[in-house]
Structure 1
C-alpha cells in the first residue's frame, strides 16, 4: 500500500466540515475553501443539513436520555452515525460540484453523545466526553482522510472540551475597531467575545455556553402540539403569548447562570428533565401554552443577555452581537434579545457576510486544518485547559492496492 499524503498547499484548500448538533435534527455538512491569504480565510462553497429519518432521530434522542443504554446500542449508533456522516460528505460534494478526490480532508465533529467536563463532575466521577460517528466508516466510504474527536485532548488537559468554535470565530469575525459577541443559538446557546483587533491569544477573548438555546423551545413546541410540530417555526407560538415574569424569574435562578466561565452545558442540564419541571410549574401557576412558549423563549434571550452583562462587558466594549444558528431565524427570539440588550446592535451573521447556519460545520473544517498544520485548536483561557493543544485524531482511508 502506498503512503498517505494530505494535500495542504500554501494556496487554496478544499475541505468538508461535518457535525450533528444537540437538536438531533441531522448532519450539517459544508464544503469550504480555506485560504489564509484571503479575508475571510474560509469561504463556504456549499452547505446543507441532511435530516435524519424520523425513526433514527427518535432512536438517537431516546438513547441520549436513557441512562441504562447498553454497549451494543452505543456501538451500533456509533457506526450508524458514521454512515450518516459519510452520506452527508458525499452528497455535499455533489452539491458543490466538487470531486471527492479534490477534497484535502474532512473535519468531522460527529455527534456529542455524552459530555461531562471537570467542573460538572461530581465527587468520584471522572470527567469524560464521547462523540459518536465512527471516523473509519467516513474515511472508508469517501476515500478522504478524516480529522475527528476534537474535544478529548482539551478535556485531558483539564479543560471543558468546549466550546471549540471560538478559534474559527476569531478567524471569521475579528474586527480592528468593533468589539463583537458571536452568539450561537443552536440546541444550546454559546457566546464568544472578540475584543477589537483580537487575535487567538488575546487575554480578553472569552467563550462559554450561555445556557439554553433552541432545544427546550423546540421540545416544548412538540409537546404542546401533540407531536405535530418539531419547532416553533419563526417563533409564531411564542409571539401569541405573554412572558410570565414570575416563572421566568424562577428559571433564571438556575445555578448555571451564575457560574463563572470557563463553563459548558448540554441536554443533561437544559433538556427534557428541566422541561418537565418547567411544564409542571406552569400548570400549577395556570400559565397557558402560548404564555409558556413565550416564557421559555424569553429564558433563552434573558440568559444570553445576563451572561453578556455578567461575564463579557467587564472585559471590554461590545458594539455588536452577531447571532448564528437556528435562533437567528426566530424573529420573536431576536426581538426579545434586542430588547434585553438595548445598547448593543443585535444582528445575524448574514448581515456581516457569513453563513451563520454553516458556521459550526465550518469551524470543524478549520479545526481539522489546524490539526493537520500542527497548530493549536483550543484556546486555554476559553476552555480552562492547562495548555494550548493540537486537537483531533487523524483517520486515513485505505490506500489503493499496488
Structure 2
C-alpha cells in the first residue's frame, strides 16, 4: 500500500493507493481520498512574506497537518497504519527557481517528513524535486511519469492538462521516451489572488466562475500579460509563484482597482490563451492527432474557464479527467504515492524529456 499526503496552497489532499509492480508494469488502484481545506488565515500565512523563523515554524506545522490528513485517509479505509508501506509527501512549495530565474537553480518544499513519520510510524518519502534539479533538470513537472504509467493507451496519444496554481501538460503515447511535458504557464494562481481581493477574503477562488462571469476581459491588459518573458522559453520549462504569484496579482489590481470583475475576466482569459498558445506552439505541430485533452486541477471545476478553453482549443476534444474513471481531485496526490513506491524499489521516475535532466534518477528522500 502507498499513501500520499500532498498539498495545494488551499488544502491537503490525501489518498490511499494499492500499487503493484514497477516501471512499465506498474499498476495503481485508488482506494480512498480525503481532502482537508486549510483555514483562510493559514493560507494567508503561507502566501505572506517569510523569514527564517516563519519558514521554520511552517515546516513543522505543515508536517502536522499532513500527518493528520494521512491518518484520516487510513482510518477512512478501515486499515491500520501497519498496513501502509510508505507515505509520499510532496510538501508545500515555497520557492521554485529553475535556470530561467536563478543562476543557482533550486527549489524549496515545506512539510517536515520527520513529523509525519513520527506521528504515524510509517516511512516517508519526500522532497521529490531536488534530485532532478541536481541532475540538471527543472525539477518539474513530475506528474508526466504518473500520466504515462497510469493513463497511457495503446495506439493513442493523449494530453493531460492540469490547471492548478500553475498549468502544465503531459502528452503521452506508448513510450516513456516520447513523452512531452512542460508548464504551459498560469493556472488558477492569478485568478485566486484576485478573487481573494475582490471578496475581501470571503472566497479563495473564482468559485464556479461566478466572479469572472461578471466582467469582460480588458484587451490591452491581456495583450500586455501575454508578453510575459516565460512564454518565450521553449520546453523544458517550469513556472511558479515567482512569475505568476502575488507580485503579478498586485500589479493587475493596481491597474484597475475599480474594475475587479473585469480583472478576473482578464485573468481567466490569460490562463486560457496562454495554455492554448502553448499547444499551438509545441504540442500540435508534433502530435497531429490527439485522442483528447483530459483536464484536472482546480481549473477543471471552473465552468467559465472550461467553456473558454474548450472553445479555444477546438476541434481538439477537451474532457474532464473523470471521464477516464479517475477522480481529478485525487490525481496529484496519487502521483506522489506512485513516486514514493518507485523510490522504495530504486526505479527512476523523472522524465528527462519533460524536466531537461541529464539522466533518469530516483526521486525523493527516505525518512524511515
- Which residue of the partner structure matches residue 216 of structure 1? 190
Whole-Å Cα distance in 1 between the matches of residues 7 and 73 of structure 2? Answer: 15
Question: 2:7 — aligned with what?
Answer: 20
What is the distance in 1 between the residues matched to 2:43 and 2:199? 18
Equivalent in the alignment of 2:275: 304
Partner Cα separation in structure 1 for residue 61 and residue 212 of structure 2 = 36
Once the two structures are overlaid, the 10-residue window that deviates more, 310-319 or 134-143, is: 310-319
Q: Normalization by structure 2: what TM-score?
A: 0.95
Partner of 2:330: 358
The aligned length equals 366
Q: CA deviation at 1:31?
A: 0.6
Contact 1:119/1:160, CA 8 A, preserved across alignment: no
**1:86-125 alignment, distance < 5 Å:** 86-121=67-102, 125=103
Q: C-alpha deviations, 1:319-356, integer Å up to 9, x for none?
A: 31110011111110000001111111010000111111
Whole-angstrom CA distance in 2 between matches of 1:77 and 1:222: 22
Which residue of 126, 135, 147 maps to 2:113?
135
Q: What does residue 178 of structure 1 align with?
A: 156
Is 1:30 matched with 2:15? yes
**Mapping 1:230-379, distance limit 5 Å:** 230-282=204-256, 288-317=259-288, 318-379=290-351
State the match for 1:11 in structure 2.
none
Q: Summarize deviations over 1:262-295 as a string: whole Å, max 9, x none.
A: 1111111001111122223335xx7x33222211
Question: 341, 356, 364: which one pairs with 1:384?
Answer: 356
Secondary structure of 2:118 counterpart: helix
- CA contact under 8 A between 1:178 and 1:320: conserved in structure 2? no
Instruction: Assess if the C-alpha contact under 8 Å between 1:222 and 1:229 holds in 2.
Output: yes
| Runs (5+) with no aligned partner, structure 1 | 1-13, 397-402
**CA distance in 1: counterparts of 2:189 and 2:51, whole angstroms:** 25
Q: 1:201 aligns to what SS in structure 2? A: helix
Deviation at 1:40?
A: 8.6
Separation of aligned partners in 1, 2:25 and 2:255: 50
Distance 1:261 1:39 in 2: 28
Residue 247 of structure 1: how far off its partner (Å):
2.1
Kindly state the Cα deviation for residue 193 of structure 1 after the two structures are TM-superposed. 1.1
- Give the RMSD, CA atoms, in angstroms: 1.8
Q: d(CA) in 2 for partners of 1:114 and 1:293?
A: 25
Structure 2 CA distance, aligned partners of 1:40 and 1:353?
18
Aligned to 2:36: 50
Q: Does 1:393 align with 2:365?
A: yes
CA gap of 1:349–1:39, structure 2 versus 1, over 3 A, is: farther
Offset of 1:381 from its aligned partner? 1.1
More helix, by proportion: 2
Q: d(CA) in 1 for partners of 2:321 and 2:150?
A: 10
**The structure with more radius of gyration:** 1
- In the TM superposition, 1:151-162 aligns within 5 A as 151-162=129-140
Cα deviation for residue 251 of structure 1 reads 1.1
Between 1:78-87 and 1:246-255, the stretch displaced more is 246-255
The residue matched to 2:90 in structure 1 has which SS? strand
Aligned counterparts of 1:248 and 1:119: Cα–Cα separation in 2: 23
Q: Distance in 1 between matches of 2:245 and 2:88?
A: 27
Q: Is 2:349–2:360's contact at 8 Å kept on the other side of the alignment?
A: yes
TM-score, normalised on structure 1? Answer: 0.87
Runs (5+) with no aligned partner, structure 2? none
